[in-house]
Structure 1
């Protein structure tokens, strides 16, 4: 039985306030991940030809995935800048800024001329805008997690924090849905000429909606309590690195396998299905759409389940399954069956959901409240560099080098082992003190595992 939060904690708003925070976290993150996911899908499907032309399709795809990686490599800058601001000036203001940044970058990508029109300036501009997207996403995740979880009951942090986790599959579902619709309605020539731009320009309308939702929210109760106690950190980045290194290491390692598995079953699988299995773009996108739609339900269920059972045990068991599944998936889809591809993608994304649902709560509860935005953002972004950023590149390189799926599966299994290690270093939740900024010295709660 979870201990009850002490009476000194800041009161939580009523049910309507909690629901508004949950929806704002989910919708805002979904909109930002729509922007990020539409780029990822375009990198796999069209950017190689339009911005990185080459006589070798493998080289063009590799260069396109390099720009995909830039969006991850730039995330730590967003984590450093926006994470720090989130612990100093508040969660709400930072989340509005990140939404504007990602939306503007995505809108401009939709207006970019291609290599055929302006030459090398086209891929350079694309990389710079992708960099801006990554900076925004780097500052978004930690705040979105706190927006919902700090309004909700800390004993149900797994469920409330999962609102931000629903954003990626929801955004991915919307992005791939738009691209699949355009691909079905347009000829190949029309899609490559101008159709892909529609998906990026659509982002402008989505950002306006997201800003309207977030502007109506108040600051979280936990941050208001920190303000009242004058307990905001002056140098949160330095404090995280010097006082909570074990917490940061645990949170970073815990995120690697989910990032890599997600890159496999939502990004690289598009290339694998079209280039290796000879399937159409629409068939591959449909398989991803089906798996992503299931995640919208499975992720909050997994988060809620982690409030009732040991969070680390659920997460760790799912990480082991993540290491095993690719060894079943690749032989399953070898004959090019769409039904088996869809089943394999669903299996991969179900396993991902069981890790991803509890992940936000696990990462957030590694850090004390006064350093939580900074710590969560740094863990999220640094893990992204060694996880999601290089995954499509490594998948493409390994397949191009060995012409076999086994190295890809081994790579995923290694990342699963790293995640299990991180979970072993982490701590279980302690709701009675997790929301009390002054209840324990900085570093204690997050650096020392709680039995």
Structure 2
């Protein structure tokens, strides 16, 4: 039953549910905005696997050039915690909506410049330096995007379906992977190898400018979340959300960062590493490998929604541990399977990795939203996620190629199993959050070290709200 909404977005005394119509609009805004931003982030990773070693690191040779190209991916992950602090501060002080507009502009500008970049043969050593700087900007933007998108959905969603609605932003990430790879497939169909290396690889980057304009239009028409509006009205804002988060919930920040490590490792292996592995080591065609990863992006998106929905019934932590365990087991199946040389076997292996990564990402938005207090929720969620990104997404590109070369492909399976075990251990030390409330002031009476764990009443939903396209900001 849908309750009457307020016209101002303020919380009425009865705290009615947000209507399904409003939630569908919120979910669409979150999904599309996140998809556009991470399209920009992912096409860089695809280009790093296919063309950057030859265009920006040719003096290093094939092997060292590939390592250097993958290292630029690591730069973005190092930048992400910085972005989480910068944009988290904005999000907790200025609001979720305004911050998401800024992250989209930052990502879009950096991506467009990559598409216009001269190569090392044209401007020498300046080319790889500029590429690294642009990837750094992408990392800063990505550091603020995920938390803002999932919190936007979570702070609107009714409590009994928060896992489902909060899974739409990471679903957009899966669709971004599919969109980015489909863009490269289309370019490959209309260019030969020489043309692709000359100008074809740039087209997906330049096309991102169109997507960014669409994303800005959507985000500028959204309204701030009702919970954050209530929070502003309560006067409980903090001038230093990072310091407050680290003083109040340091244990949760560290453990939740550890819990996401395996998600990033699984994602990197299933997408970027498998693109290089499939083309360079197994000899599959570029378009065939890109098609596999595109299908993996769709599987990622479907798994996000499914596990987000299941977390509303069975709990966030339980579904996260299930997905993490599946990832560890799958690694011992996938690598021998892919190594058979069959394209079908390769596809099953890569898609499996991406589907499991999506399954783990689905419940994560609601889990982190429920873990932290409103006045530093953006900062704490972004910091936790992106510290995990540094170790889970930034370190593997630096070590996996040399590790596999020295110890064989199964060393990667053992590496994944070890990371998975560590993430499960972190999850076991965190509490279930499914029944916690997200109203703006419930945390004030909570225990300082535990976050909003003292309030385990299931909330019937977020608060009354105007439709998201009716911007009041």
User: Alpha-carbon deviation of 1:367?
Assistant: 0.7
Does residue 64 in structure 1 map to residue 55 in structure 2?
no
Q: Give the secondary-structure state (helix, strand or coil) at the position aligned to 1:218.
A: coil
**1:413-447 C-alpha deviation (Å, 9 max, x unpaired):** 11101210121122212545332424424735438
Q: Which residue of 2 aligns with 1:407?
A: 411
Cα 1:223–1:273 shift into 2, 3 Å? same
Distance 1:26 1:309 in 2: 24
Q: Which moved more, 1:440-449 or 1:280-289?
A: 440-449
Q: Which residue of 2 aligns with 1:286?
A: 291
Conserved? CA contact 1:251–1:366, under 8 Å? no
Does residue 106 in structure 1 map to residue 130 in structure 2?
no
Q: Give the secondary-structure state (helix, strand or coil) at the position aligned to 1:110.
A: helix
Cα 1:362–1:375 shift into 2, 3 Å? same
Q: How does 1:199-278 map to 2 (within 5 A)?
A: 199-278=204-283
User: Alpha-carbon deviation of 1:58?
Assistant: 0.9
Runs of 4+ in 1 over 6 A off after TM superposition: none
Conserved? CA contact 1:46–1:192, under 8 Å? yes
Q: Give the secondary-structure state (helix, strand or coil) at the position aligned to 1:259.
A: helix
Q: Which residue of 1 aligns with 2:465?
A: none
Q: Give the secondary-structure state (helix, strand or coil) at the position aligned to 1:219.
A: coil
Tell me the number of residue pairs that the alignment of Structure 1 and Structure 2 aligns.
Answer: 445
- Normalising by structure 1, report the TM-score: 0.95
Q: Which residue of 2 aligns with 1:3?
A: none
Distance 1:430 1:362 in 2: 7
Unaligned runs of 5+ in 1: 1-5
Distance 1:381 1:318 in 2: 19
User: Alpha-carbon deviation of 1:395?
Assistant: 1.6
Q: Give the secondary-structure state (helix, strand or coil) at the position aligned to 2:451.
A: helix
Does residue 424 in structure 1 map to residue 428 in structure 2?
yes
User: Alpha-carbon deviation of 1:128?
Assistant: 0.6
Q: How does 1:31-430 map to 2 (within 5 A)?
A: 31-54=36-59, 56-402=61-407, 404-429=408-433
Unaligned runs of 5+ in 2: 1-10, 457-473
User: Alpha-carbon deviation of 1:382?
Assistant: 0.8
Cα 1:82–1:299 shift into 2, 3 Å? same
Q: Give the secondary-structure state (helix, strand or coil) at the position aligned to 1:128.
A: helix
Distance 1:155 1:246 in 2: 27
- Normalising by structure 2, report the TM-score: 0.90
**1:191-248 C-alpha deviation (Å, 9 max, x unpaired):** 0000001110001000000011111111001100101101111211001111101110
Conserved? CA contact 1:264–1:392, under 8 Å? no
Match of 1:434 among 410, 423, 438: 438
User: Alpha-carbon deviation of 1:7?
Assistant: 7.8
Distance 1:52 1:333 in 2: 28
Conserved? CA contact 2:227–2:438, under 8 Å? no
Q: Which residue of 1 aligns with 2:463?
A: none
Distance 2:447 2:142 in 1: 27
User: Alpha-carbon deviation of 1:351?
Assistant: 1.9
User: Alpha-carbon deviation of 1:448?
Assistant: 5.7
**1:256-288 C-alpha deviation (Å, 9 max, x unpaired):** 001100000011001111122121111111111
Conserved? CA contact 1:31–1:206, under 8 Å? yes
Cα 1:86–1:45 shift into 2, 3 Å? same
Q: Which residue of 2 aligns with 1:29?
A: 34
Distance 1:238 1:425 in 2: 23
User: Alpha-carbon deviation of 1:94?
Assistant: 0.3
